[in-house]
Chain A
Amino acid sequence: MPDRSVVWDSVIRLEDVTKSYPTSSRPALDGVDVAIGKGEFAFLVGSSGSGKSTFLRLVLKEEVPTRGHVHVAGNDLSKLSRWKVPALRRSIGCVFQDFRLLSNKNVFQNVAFALEVIGKPAHVVQKVVPEVLELVGLEGKARRMPDELSGGEQQRVAVARAFVNRPMILIADEPTGNLDPNTSVGIMKLLDRINRTGTTVVMATHDAAIVNSMRRRVVELEDGKVIRDQERGVYGFGG
């Protein structure tokens, strides 16, 4: 296991992090030490309940660790005051398995929403949204409503929304979980492209084929502990 704690320009660093939810006896994360460098692409793998989503929620400060420290972009999140949390989240884009689009807004409006709610002026929205829609391959579908799109297209909208603000980090929690293998490949190509712009990507997944084909860093969790951290890893040994 490579010693990652000495990486200086890591954008995400968990130091001996333990997270216990009040309602469960076993900690969801147990003494996790992981550092993810700037521009890296890392997979979080592990069976259901191993703590992948908890890991990502800690990075977003949606949860706070029971013990240990989470550093994101040089900030110790335990010292980050509440009113600075929005600024943290602006530097992190998020994509989820269930897309989380607003069904009463069209594609353009869904992406624009992410800019509007952080107070970006209208002329910026008008300029940036078409650019990012083109990047994710949805040019010409700006006026479609979410229910007029395929699952893969909906996830592209979600990626566009996550990336429209050019965040430093992109977090994806099982983004291909609801998609067929071919569509998944398309989404992965998109995430890869975003990664090549210098964005750090952390993706939790169960999809062995994707992990194996990408040959990127793999952090495997089991019962809240890191059991494997490989530079150019595969999904699992025989799993």
Chain B
Amino acid sequence: MRAQFVLREIGIGLRRNLTMTVAVIVTVAISLALLGTGVLIRQQVETMKDFWYDKVEVTVYLCGEVSRRPSCARTAVTQEQRDQLLAELSATPEVDTVFYESQEAAYALFQEKFADSPDLVDNVSASALPESFRVKLKDPTKFEVVAAAFDGRPGVEEVQDQKALLQPFFRILNRVQFFALVVAGLQLLAAALLISNTIRVAAHSRRRETGIMRLVGASNLYIRLPFLLEGVLAGLAGAALASGAMVAVKVFLVDRFLKPTFAFTAFVGWDEVLMLIPALFLTGALLAGLSSFVTLQRHLRV
């Protein structure tokens, strides 16, 4: 196989078909960029879970005098119940640490949190706030175990999973991700069809060359390789553009805008972005290679 010959043929082919080649590159770039965005959103969700699940806790609120729950029976939690619950919580295998927050401690936090609104602070007394056990789990997803064991127990007003507060946010991200992946899928399909069509046009416009190649006994590989590489090259060019877009998203959207604006949470790092780039190149090359190959199989036979 003579590399020089193959390269020359690719050059001729790409130039002859320039507008189609550009269309292929742009379509591949858009579809891969959407695909990459979908993957990055997935990783953003994971990053946030890692970040938050370390911090969030399960809170077991205990009954106060004002509690309306049946399990409270209109009386505040007794010292006996409190000790019993603490002992059982500490003995639960899924539980890492337990921390008791008294009504006074809750009130102090409340005062701190709403220091800007003295009216509110003045109208609330410590007895209106529930005391609680702050429970840190070994595995933050094991909330159900604790909830099943302690919810509805005498002296327990409510078992609350702080993780649940993050759910609506994750739901939005998941929906955006789903949408990006669906559009990416459609775009990939469009890219495959466009590549297929481009290769068909290229094969047709060069049928004289390929006809002569067949007659003088060029192998199938030799006849098809320039077309195949043309497709793969366009796919790789699209992947390069998409990778550039991913880097731009990281630099301009995540680092310059989202990070300073939403400083309270973590964002995808360069690791995730840089790992994504080889995957995009591979996808681009495979997409273009496969659709070219299938097309050539059907339209350029010996």
Listed in ascending order, the chain A residues whose CB lies under 8 Å from chain B are 60, 82-83, 85-92, 94, 100, 102, 113-114, 116-122, 161, 165
CB < 8 Å: which of B4, B222, B302 contacts A117? B222
| Interface residue B2 (Cβ < 8 Å from any Cβ of A) | yes
A-B contact pairs, 15 of them (CB 8 A): A86-B219, A86-B220, A86-B302, A91-B217, A94-B216, A100-B212, A113-B209, A117-B5, A117-B212, A117-B213, A117-B222, A119-B2, A119-B222, A122-B2, A165-B216
Cβ of A90 and Cβ of B217 under 8 Å apart? yes
Q: Which of B5, B211, B222 contacts A100 (CB 8 A)?
A: B211
Q: Does B208 contact A (CB under 8 A)?
A: yes
Contact, CB under 8 Å: B222 / A161:
no
Q: Given the complex, which residues of B lie within 8 Å of A165, measured CB to CB?
A: 216-217
Q: Say how far B132's CB is from chain A's closest CB, in angstroms.
A: 76
> A87's contact among B5, B217, B222, by CB below 8 Å, is which?
B217
State the Cβ distance, A81 to closest chain B Cβ, in Å.
11
Task: Return the chain A residue nearest B4 by Cβ.
Answer: A122
A102-B212, A114-B216, A117-B222 given; 7 more Cβ-contact pairs under 8 Å: A83-B219, A86-B217, A86-B220, A90-B216, A100-B215, A121-B2, A122-B4
Contact A85 B215 (CB under 8 A): no
Task: Give the B interface residue count (CB, 8 A).
Answer: 19
Residues A60 and B220 in contact in the complex (CB < 8 Å), given A117-B5, A119-B2? no
| Given the contacts A118-B222, A119-B1, A119-B2, A89 and B209 also touching, CB distance less than 8 Å | no
Find out whether the CB atom of A118 lies under 8 angstroms from the CB atom of B215.
Answer: no
- Minimum CB–CB distance for B227 against chain A, Å: 14
CA distance in complex: A89, B302 (Å): 11
A234 → B minimal CB distance (Å):
31
Report whether A114 and B212 are in contact in the complex, using a CB–CB cutoff of 8 Å: yes
Whole-angstrom distance from the CB of A180 to the nearest CB of chain B? Answer: 25
Q: Is B200 an interface residue (CB 8 A)?
A: no
For B218, list chain A residues within 8 Å (CB). Answer: 86, 117-118
